[in-house]
Structure 1
């Protein structure tokens, strides 16, 4: 905000893109003519164009009655060009140089950075230029005069010779057939100046009609410079981020690209890689490496890259196998491609490779013969699958390439659970495609090698459930001992808790040090806020505590607008700062948190996200502070009501709505404060906080 105060916004102008003349608009420049001396009042005799070459010729009349015109020179030039004959093909029919021709050359071949702008009624309308041409006087009449002179000299020399001498000039000639043209000779001929000139001359001229500046037809054509649709429809082509807009205005020069070191086509430098968008970086790395732990992937990316954004990208191009990420088959073998070894279509390759990947989710070692018997693909394709993600072991088969990464599963249980569900769907599809029985899908018992760990996906889930039950038993025992100790100290008699029967809920417990993170800790991004094994920890809190109300009230007075996912992240950070045994560790559900938010003078804003939006369910639940008790409550409510109709709006629309409600009392400072509290700017539009990816 400090930088904005130093350089305030004076006026906002809507910019529109007009396309009616996008492929027809040329800019003519006259570099040898002063800008004050225009050709607007000069008579234009004719005009023609070669569209492919963007070559234009215009004939303009010369005022032979002007006191500045040298009549004798004009007659001499006409005589030299046309001679004394009177023909229709003569350049100057009046025996006087009374016109001149202007011929064009291209000022630039790339006009994507240039446009013609028209400003009207506070709106700026831009029309892209199809070509920029520089028109200069053509002196082709001098070439014609020179050729006439040579013809006259040749005629005079021919007239002086006698018939006898002419007969002596007759000689015998020999006809020869040219040899077949080689490829190198053909390329040299095609690149020669004579060939290019001949090719340019083959394009026919298109004759044009010229209309003056004040002609009614010209005025009609000028109306096409304005965008025809300037209503409420949004021109999304101009909604760009600042970096994208800057790149469009100032693309990198060609010299920099030429100066870069030339790498092989299959090699990408780290500098080039980090210039790509994050999604393309992840895709490129996975396509080259095929199998990679998440920690290694983060090390290849730029320092400070958000791991949550990387997780979102990696799940689009890879699948989790034994805690490591393996490139998806449909990314490696895109549609309409085929095997480089056997020519098998991509669809069959994807099915076979998915089966190999699924086998490695169940077992540490896989036999190649068993895989080939199921997928029924050529041996070279099956070998290619195996080599991408495993290594061969003598008398053991093929072992997965990387050790099991249990640390990633422990750190990101929500991602592991989501991947497990995806593999369940792929397993059902493989059963149907390959007609496998339940026995075929069961993992085989394998004897682990010394120092190795063999854990299947189902075993991981079972182990996690047992661990949670064990942790809760330890917690209950510790809490019972603590309550008994407190009862003895305070003199209050406590009733001994009996073992719980099925269907009963345990007493209100608080986690102790060493277990609050593993048992009741809330994992960011997990929709249920429970452990990945699906076990729901029992809760006795049915109403929000005062501590939870205080947290929600303070966090919304600070941020004003929060999505559910961001609120849960902030709640996790708050929990991390609390001492062990705090009451907030007793398991706070999504529903309880949302009820507390709605009871704290907040409302859920139903922002109309686009149907193609990739935002998760928690990211589409938006809550905002509705009543704070200050003079800005009404301003804030009007702003939030605007976003109920559209998920992005312009600043001038917000300002107009506030002015309509409160008159001219709304200052620029008030509007800036309101937008800073509740919104973020992206690509020239304003969004509620958390509803747009930066």
Structure 2
């Protein structure tokens, strides 16, 4: 090549050597939160340890407590929070002051094949491959220990005299279960899980190291290994390449891409692929993608010949009924241990907020996003996601539920509709506690007002008298028929009874609403006209209800009416479809009658005037008679709580000793308190009445 064409002349040639002595031991430490001009070279390193497989390093460095920039009072406060006032060998700060800090590493990159450390000496460049590049940042685990100490102190203070009461637990039976063989797919998921990785990391033990400073003799000796020990070319064959081979290493030829491109998006299944899945997976996949769907459309997407009963059984596992349509459950869209892609909010909070939106749509067709956001208090992006799952925006009107009310499904499947209604009652009770609202606050909007029919007092009187005459006539006919059928000589009398309880002849009637009307006709279904509605005007609760109440109070000696109603709704929701028809229309009055018939009585707890407890939460019932030796002690305990809503343990023990002597064992007192009460800040409350 002519000299005029050479615009990049070679100025100097440098020999490059590959040093291997520290090839698998050399790490590069980076301190991203420390200025480059302020190093840790002169800082006293107290200890060092490493986990070689994980490339995890921890360094413990001293803090100069004599520096004018060090706040001694803050250091003493931190040491006190972490270690407390007692001296132990395991204390983090033995000098009662924060005099050290710990640095923990994370890997800056997992692939270090392109990185090396190089030193230049006498025209020679010696490079050593790096085993790892680690970034060290201050560790704040001492704050976790301080929080742990604080929680221990709070627990000790709250327990008061009964610090050992809550620690004593009943002996529980151990159930031995044999796990099924693990499939390959399940094993892969387990190996990739965060819990498995954490456990594997904890299994590798720390290797403790001895730190040598920069100017230490051992450090100088180790630095010599950064130079290649064998200088002849035979031992450095890795760098002896022809120009063509070296160029091929720098720019490898393009390899043909042999990956077969899918014909459709990777997250979309064709109908043929979908129908190869089990029925439950088919329905779950469809609901996760569609979010809201009428039952008729779902049946149309599935293969012909599938039994609708099987589909109904599967759809209830992954969706809830809203206005006669199926909407995918929140926990299907937001599984446990996940978070929002927009805001990072945990899945548990997302499920609560979305359930609230779904519940509101069971009451009305229109919602305003700002009203929803003001209650559930989640970021606007998440609230918008909830609404987009099941509604469409309308200009100047808010968000309307995406599908019309499917009345045909409600009429065709009343058992499924009622079961879903009971589920919504349970969800509603949870939402009321979480978001602190009352269902009466949400009167359905945008619904035409019902036409009111005025009935005068005279018309009501005539209607009542007519009903009474018809009832008496039917009774007379029945008695006459019985008299004709009676054998000769028997005495059967037919007596005309006057109207009772007033001229209108109306019988006393239980006006308390049935359970089916608690939610304002959720999903368009009403419990009126059901077989159980005949009990509404009766005097005795159904046997099934009495059995449920008796079993419930056998587990919990004290319950509020609100808690019992919640447990009752959950019990109804757990019944198989078609069962429990006698419990479909149970009023509050019937429930309280069943309580009194189960050897229980109401405890008149004097709640404070500023209490925010709902009326149902202020109705407290307790077991009065069980037949055991503690019945009289339990009744005395109720008497104490009839004069004050909270009592000290010492007062309870003193009163029990005065009434029944000192022969009552501590274990009996513990059992009595555990059955009937709960403790908070040294005070004891009846269950369900804790004022927080």
Q: TM-score, normalised by structure 2?
A: 0.35
**Greater relative CO, 1 or 2 (CA 8 Å, sep 6+):** 2
Q: TM-score, normalised by structure 1?
A: 0.35
